[in-house]
Structure 1
């Protein structure tokens, strides 16, 4: 009796199962609806996650900085350990080298940059006069001279008293937010103290992290997760290490070139070029603009010298440095990188511009592995159809465009049927 009732119930629900639950389109829409509901629910209870956001903000600076330094120095530690040097000894040697390098930078570079920046500020009036004369004497200025004079006149007409009155509330709010400023300074100071500790343990025991993660992954998914971690780690390490080394090389080359031609503020411009070169494509373009402006304001001869230095630097960087250091490890199209920089910069600011490309590389690896796993476990890709080669498609198009007699002759000689398709 119970078996008959269960069979009747199964027949009764079969239409609902076949038309609704067993429909792939309906199932996909239900999954999308559930995801949207979950996102909406998280938006409603987002205030409960504010402590988690505070923790992330506190740990982001030391963890990200330690990770960047780890990818920069881990090859050196591994090479020393292969030569028989204890890892702890090599890490302490690297720390001593970092301290000496920072000390040299503070003693040597910082005073030069400070003096050159102060000299640039003092020379701003003369630069203003030079730009004004240039625009006034340019034969085709398209009204730039009048626009420039209008801007200066507008600046001179600014009422200092009203400006002060408008700034008073801003100053009051700034003083009121002094606690936030102190909190940020304390956060940076705490990060600087914790970075050496995190970096030490990463360099000594960083190779154990994948094994620790795989221990908690089910056996069925360990190969896929292992590939994700390996490829993601490879992408990030190649990108970060390559960008930093290329940026240092660019800064050194520009510093030497600007010193040879005697460009004003050469050291500061070289350091600025090295920092901006961390940003792919856009950074190198932005870095050359200040040098070109300074060269133009100095003299036409200096502008030509600056252009020559840039051509030499770009040739050495493009032909020798980037192929040897960066290679083609990321395999991301330049247009894609530009879109990533624009979007990540708009969403996350400077940190997004710097970390957007490696973050995209990791996401790409994860999505690729999920897609491969889905192909292996889904029956939607079991079709043995293989698309024809481009040459075969061209031949078919040529037959279609030929005369009717030739087409009939070809069709009679090459008759296709479903049974002949392999």
Structure 2
């Protein structure tokens, strides 16, 4: 029997850090390959239920996957049509929007010059630094827009294709994952897969339901206030609301800037009040009822995951960070590795659990003392 070699701590630390850097580098460089696959996995988990329902009624797997795929495409087309019509309308008025925004910035710098006695040179430098006058026609803007549109079109093609293939070959994929481990871990692997599917399915369904409710509340309030692009801003705010802690601030700033150039200052204040109020209602009532504590992750791990996802994959990474982190937690808990990373990601230990742990530690110490005396 071969003897297990244990490397010194410094070597293990270097190997661990090198592995982390290598994984981050692979995730960053292969994001255009991995992002659509991850999205497809999440959507496939949503469509597994209707696919299984059709298969139970003796519909072949290929046809069941195709019908579920058609349902997914129809819902996506409806959402795309509603949002794209608003985006097209907004794009037509973008030059006027930028001019109004620059006018507002100019008025603001003039007030700063009067009230804080700044020189004209400094105010002009400040205005040039934050001005949007060259944004619409700049090469950077055109290049970024082209890259964004091309990536979006690529994702819109790849995600449905991957989703259909994952639905069709899901049995083969599960069998591959089970056989990738030893036979003694078969039950454990199946348990992790089932828990991952249940947790992610519940989370994704809950998030979509929450997003629809928040979008309806936002759009209704914006229509009552007479906000221009009420539907577009309401939907964008609902989507950004999914990003924990950071999404609401981004939604507020974006909505207030757009409203400032198209409505009165009172409407801008109303938009901020609406978004904050809806967010509070969502955080304290809607989120708890619809999503619940399915993921069981603490705020520190959630925030670190969102920031890390944003640094690696941008805004897309912020959306995907939470479900991916929850899958990692399930794997860490099932593997029982040391150090217990699943415990670090999970919720805080409640007071009764802490008392029970302290009692257990005291009992273990007393038992060790008795054994040493014997």
Task: Please say whether Structure 1 and Structure 2 have the same fold, judged by a TM-score greater than 0.5.
Answer: yes
Map 1:303-318 → 2, pairs under 5 A:
303-318=268-283
Cα distance change of structure 1 residues 66 and 340 upon mapping to structure 2, 3 Å threshold: closer
8 A contact 1:135–1:141 mirrored in 2: no
Match of 1:329 in 2: 294
Match of 2:182 in 1: 218
8 A contact 2:28–2:312 mirrored in 1: no
Cα distance change of structure 1 residues 79 and 296 upon mapping to structure 2, 3 Å threshold: same
Match of 1:352 in 2: 317
The correspondence for 2:8, drawn from 26, 30, 38, is 30
Shift of 1:333: 1.3
The correspondence for 2:127, drawn from 135, 144, 152, is 152
Cα distance change of structure 1 residues 344 and 318 upon mapping to structure 2, 3 Å threshold: closer
Match of 2:102 in 1: 128
Shift of 1:70: 1.0
Match of 1:256 in 2: 220
Shift of 1:28: 4.7
Give secondary structure in 1 for the equivalent of 2:296: coil
Match of 1:368 in 2: 333
- Distance, in Å, in 2 between the alignment partners of 1:349 and 1:153 is 27
Match of 2:93 in 1: 119
8 A contact 1:248–1:274 mirrored in 2: yes
8 A contact 1:136–1:145 mirrored in 2: no
8 A contact 2:240–2:251 mirrored in 1: yes
8 A contact 1:135–1:144 mirrored in 2: no
- Distance, in Å, in 2 between the alignment partners of 1:367 and 1:236 is 16
- Distance, in Å, in 2 between the alignment partners of 1:246 and 1:201 is 28
- Distance, in Å, in 1 between the alignment partners of 2:99 and 2:93 is 11
Match of 1:402 in 2: none
- Distance, in Å, in 1 between the alignment partners of 2:294 and 2:129 is 52
The correspondence for 2:45, drawn from 48, 57, 71, is 71
Shift of 1:259: 1.8
Give secondary structure in 1 for the equivalent of 2:295: coil
8 A contact 2:248–2:279 mirrored in 1: no
Cα distance change of structure 1 residues 101 and 371 upon mapping to structure 2, 3 Å threshold: closer
Q: Which runs of 5+ in 2 are unaligned?
A: 341-355
Cα distance change of structure 1 residues 198 and 129 upon mapping to structure 2, 3 Å threshold: closer
How many aligned positions are there? 335
- The answer to whether the aligner puts 1:203 opposite 2:206 as a matched pair is no
Shift of 1:29: 4.2
Give secondary structure in 2 for the equivalent of 1:279: coil
Give secondary structure in 1 for the equivalent of 2:8: helix
1:184-204: per-residue Cα shift (whole Å, max 9, x none)?
95x977765554443224334
- Distance, in Å, in 2 between the alignment partners of 1:188 and 1:137 is 41
Cα distance change of structure 1 residues 357 and 62 upon mapping to structure 2, 3 Å threshold: closer
Cα distance change of structure 1 residues 366 and 417 upon mapping to structure 2, 3 Å threshold: closer
8 A contact 2:214–2:278 mirrored in 1: yes
Q: Which runs of 5+ in 1 are unaligned?
A: 1-20, 159-163, 175-180, 376-385, 393-415
- Distance, in Å, in 2 between the alignment partners of 1:152 and 1:135 is 7
Cα distance change of structure 1 residues 360 and 419 upon mapping to structure 2, 3 Å threshold: same
1:274-321: per-residue Cα shift (whole Å, max 9, x none)?
332342221222112122334455324313432443244224423443
8 A contact 1:113–1:267 mirrored in 2: no
Calculate the TM-score normalised by the size of structure 2: 0.68
- The answer to whether the aligner puts 1:243 opposite 2:207 as a matched pair is yes
- The answer to whether the aligner puts 1:276 opposite 2:251 as a matched pair is no
Give the structure with higher Rg (CA): 1
Match of 2:192 in 1: 228
Match of 1:301 in 2: 266
Cα distance change of structure 1 residues 73 and 281 upon mapping to structure 2, 3 Å threshold: farther
Give secondary structure in 1 for the equivalent of 2:181: coil
Give secondary structure in 2 for the equivalent of 1:123: helix
Give secondary structure in 2 for the equivalent of 1:217: coil
